[in-house]
Structure 1
Amino acid sequence: MPSIFIYGSCVSRDPFEKPNDFKLEGYFARSSLASAFSEPPAQGTPLPDVETLSSNFQKRMLETDINKSLPSLLRSTEFDYLVIDFIDERMSTVQLGESTITESEELKSTGFAITPSDVHEPWSETGLALRLQGIQALTRIVDPNKIIVNRVYCATVDTDGVPFPRSRWFDRNNKLLYDLYKEIEKIPGVRFIDYPGGRSHGSRDTQVGPAAVPLQRARKRPFHGRVKAPDQFRWGPPSRLS
């Protein structure tokens, strides 16, 4: 049975909750490329108190982001494929001396004091540069021939064809996603999962804003934080790999 490691959002994780022919060896989310591959905080640097979080999953994600554990996990874990998406790159990052951490909802929930001047939006010059460095670091650690990119964007319409409200954030974020996917596409060996017509339909059921899920069968209910996996994302192996 082929094995996978997922670094990305629930968009890539949820399909593996359905019956499939893959063994999930690891899952890591809510950590920007800009943070995951940066230097760990220097000794004595004030850090968030992860124990204020009630969820063990949230604690583990925040601890891994702070301690920069992903590179060692990728090196030490045996897997056939690394599945990634860049939806979590929508989050800003926070400079901590020579280190960078992700301004995730988990970080905010700890009440950690953040100096506004230390925050870098993802589409800022610094934010983009750090993410591009992260892509280079990732592809040095993992054989590019093992990397499968789930090329998803924030949806423009729901599954009934009703447009989501547009915003400057929305347009900037999809432009960022496009730039990051194009950057990793330059690296020989990396493969992509693409969707029919390149369309993005989304659920109104997610907390991340206009749903970051392509072509999924969505219910139009108030946001409740649950994203349903897209039926078009099938493994065995993926039929839309390019």
Structure 2
Amino acid sequence: MTETAVPIETRIRRVAILGTCVSRDMIRIATDEAVQVKKYLARGTVRSILAKSPGNLSYGDPADLPGFERRNFETDIAKSAFKQLSNVEADICIVDMIDERLATWNNGDTILVNSKGFEVAVGKLPPPWKYRSPSAIRAETLERAPLWATKLKEAVGAMPIVIHRAVWAPGGGADDDAVRDQNAFLNQLYDILCATLPEAVAVRADDAFQYAATEHQWGPAPYHYIDPYYKNVWAAIAARFPAEAHSQQD
């Protein structure tokens, strides 16, 4: 396997991420943190981000949660992801949809993600709340995806959007059927986002790099990739934003 070199000459210095560790790790591994992550929002889904806030929901002290999980839990409770993005100054906004693997709790128009932060702070919710598995909500997710994309565009304004078409990779502990099933759904979702956001830059790793890592900082999973994956995707992004396109103000 030949590892793709990462172009250094790019105008990207600051990024916002609405996605998961697959995009955050890319910045760490491919740029050695030379690119600044101005905002990183994770543990959200299409349906949950668009849903209403639960209002008077009783839960434990979020201060007991690690910072990353606490911030994402509070963002989900407040439904503030798009508002936060609207206040970020960055060169691009990277999105990926790997967190569509997460289950949700539903109560009418209110939806909360069953994240680690939720499990610690809330645990389980009584009726009328209903637990929904990821596979049970796919059709609703696809139906709501165009609105999610439209709201994303409204939030980031003129900031370019990069759709990181991250999917599950073999070798991460999931069986082949599960990988194929999840990827069929993810590719449908990415296709909808690309159609709704024709001006967005869509990137994916070359097939030669689509492998899960046997050893990874966050442990084995079909969305924890080998290091060359991240460098390959970042090279594709950097190539779309070359240094000569940098504004005179920077």
Q: For residues 140-183 of structure 1, what are the alpha-carbon distances to aligned partners after superposition, in whole Å with 9 as ceiling and x for unaligned? A: 3234761001111110247xxxx952344x33321221111101
1:107 aligns with 2:101: no
1:79 aligns with 2:90: yes
* Aligned position for 1:221: none
* Aligned position for 1:19: 32
Q: For residues 55-92 of structure 1, what are the alpha-carbon distances to aligned partners after superposition, in whole Å with 9 as ceiling and x for unaligned? A: 12211110011111111111112222101111111112
Unaligned runs of 5+ in 1: 219-228
Structure (1 or 2) with the greater helix fraction: 2
Q: Sort the Cα spacing of 1:237 and 1:132 in 2 relative to 1 into closer, same or farther, 3 A.
A: closer
Name the SS of the counterpart of 1:238 in structure 2: helix
* Aligned position for 2:231: 231
* Higher RCO (C-alpha under 8 Å, 6+ residues apart): 2
CA contact (8 A) 1:213 1:230 kept: no
Give TM-score scaled by structure 2 length. Answer: 0.75
Unaligned runs of 5+ in 2: 1-11, 242-250
Partner Cα distance (1:9, 1:74) in 2 = 15
CA contact (8 A) 2:161 2:200 kept: yes
Q: Sort the Cα spacing of 1:180 and 1:193 in 2 relative to 1 into closer, same or farther, 3 A.
A: same
The 10-residue stretch of structure 1 (200-209 or 50-59) with the greater mean CA deviation from structure 2: 200-209
* Aligned position for 2:18: 7
Partner Cα distance (1:60, 1:154) in 2 = 25
Aligned counterpart for 1:28 among listed residues 41, 45, 59: 41
Q: For residues 89-123 of structure 1, what are the alpha-carbon distances to aligned partners after superposition, in whole Å with 9 as ceiling and x for unaligned? A: 11122113422111112212334323587233334
Aligned counterpart for 1:153 among listed residues 149, 167, 171: 167
Q: Sort the Cα spacing of 1:130 and 1:95 in 2 relative to 1 into closer, same or farther, 3 A.
A: farther
**Cα offset for 1:234?**
3.0
Q: Sort the Cα spacing of 1:50 and 1:58 in 2 relative to 1 into closer, same or farther, 3 A.
A: farther
CA RMSD in angstroms comes to 3.1
Give TM-score scaled by structure 1 length. Answer: 0.77
